[in-house]
Amino acid sequence: MEKPTWMQDEALKDIPAAKLEMLMQIHEKSKGKNQKELMAYFAQISRRQQDKDALTFTQEELKLIFNTIKKHATLAEQEKIEKILEKRFH
């Protein structure tokens, strides 16, 4: 499994490898899914994240990750990311 360009960005160097690996798995498993399938998939992930042993991200980590992804995204993807950021952090 090849890492997407954004995951190789120097800005993510301080995020633990286990968290980046989890993101990589989410990235791979979400490919080709339509919006309804993605929502179901992310709901499943959210339920798993409620487990006390689950990896969690701080707000700072999430902002950094989204902004890093945005740097490597197309204009259309950047617009979608902005909408997510607005809903999540505002």
Q: What is the pLDDT of residue 10?
A: 93
Comparison of pLDDT for 86 and 71, the residue scoring more: 71
DSSP state of 34: -
Predicted TM-score (pTM) above 0.75: no
> What tokens does 47 get?
């339920």
Comparison of pLDDT for 90 and 45, the residue scoring more: 45
Interatomic CA distance for residues 77 and 90, integer angstroms: 19
Dihedral sign of CA atoms 48, 2, 15, 66 in order = negative
Which segments of the chain does DSSP mark as H helices, in order?
17-30, 35-49, 59-71, 75-89
User: What's the pLDDT tens digit per position in 75-84?
Assistant: 888 888 787 7
User: What's the pLDDT tens digit per position in 12-61?
Assistant: 999 998 888 888 887 788 778 776 777 777 777 767 766 666 778 888 88
